[in-house]
Amino acid sequence: MLNMHYFDNAATSWPKPEAVYQTADKFMREIGANPGRSGHCLAKQADTIVEETRELLAEFFGAPDPKLVTFTFNGTDGLNLVIKGLLAPGDHAITSNIEHNSVSRPLRRLEQQGVDVTYLQADANGLLFAENLAPLLRPETKLVIMSHASNVLGAVQDVAALAKVAHQNGALFALDAAQTAGHQPIDMQALGIDILVVPGHKGLLAPYGTGAVISLRDAGILPWRDGGTGIKSDSRMHPNELPYRLEGGTLNAAGIAGLGAAIKFINAEGLTNIAAKESNDMQQLLACLQAEERITIYGPRSAAERAGLVAFNVAGLSSAELGQLLNDDWRVAGRPGLHCSPLSHRAVGTFPDGSYRLSPGYFTTPNAIESVCAAIRQICREQ
């Protein structure tokens, strides 16, 4: 609905850059072949586009080799691949008490199969501290995995400090960058991120059905999906080389073409410019919300400490009621509820109703933000 004010970019960014639409459409109409399979020219063109996008992602996130970029179908797919491909009964993993279900649910399933999981506790603003992580590590700790920024509280973690502590104890450090990839610079080597998981459809501005697991080295992730890869078809066993080990079956090549176009768009716009614009948007929103006595904001009070989202509640209204009012009367598309992160809501005392979340994006205008603020001010005074 084109007359909506879209503030649900933390779930899926919209609109996409025009080049993303055009590139995905062109791939479907003019190439359409299966990459890495047949030897004809269309299949080779498809494979070239996929490999170019792999190279773009490696450079964008500071990975040393494009072969360490594995395409996935979304962030959840990638997180399951990492968690279930690394951990076995008897292993110990550490995560936090404010994770999205895409981290907490796979770990919970593995807990029932003999993996031991410890939950690092965040402070009231959703921040995690390295000094609190250190005592939780054990000789059998194999993986520390957590979100770069909570999709409820928005707090951005000190990744370098957390990764350093994990490495001092021999554990791998994996990062869920669902709310930060494409929004702010992430250099895996500088920050010490062994494994980075990103969805394409959020801040990277790409189509649905895209994402990646990116590694600094081969961490030994085992595949849970075996099948066709286009290489070593004579073998009874799935190939062990990366990225083919983790990419069984046909890739979403049209989506990957769109992802490549999105990375080029972000590079052209400048990631620091994007981050600055989105920080200004958040500061405008936070100033509006902090001025209303009926509103409780969850997470850091400063835009400099958070990702591009803010969750809050209005006293006297459930998050669902607030969402309905904003949708029906003001044409605002935000998100009420638990945001697929019940652990976060339990941590801040908003379970089971949740909160209402606004998440502007790169294409959100100042006028749209002011319209949302006007709506919230009126609701706080009249409802």
* Nearest residue to 263 (alpha-carbon basis) of 59, 32, 45: 59
Helices (H), the chain: 18-26, 41-61, 75-86, 101-111, 130-133, 159-168, 188-191, 253-269, 271-290, 319-330, 342-348, 366-382
288, 340, 373, 380: which one is catalytic?
340
- In sign, the C-alpha dihedral spanning 31, 33, 39, 44 is positive
* Nearest residue to 358 (alpha-carbon basis) of 306, 282, 277, 296: 282
Are the CB atoms for 191 and 160 separated by under 8 Å?
yes
CA distances, 107 to each of 99, 179, 235, 321 (Å): 11, 20, 33, 33
CA distances, 283 to each of 100, 186, 302, 303, 369 (Å): 25, 22, 7, 5, 11
340 counts as catalytic? yes
CA distances, 191 to each of 110, 163, 164, 175 (Å): 28, 7, 9, 11
The catalytic site residues sit at 340
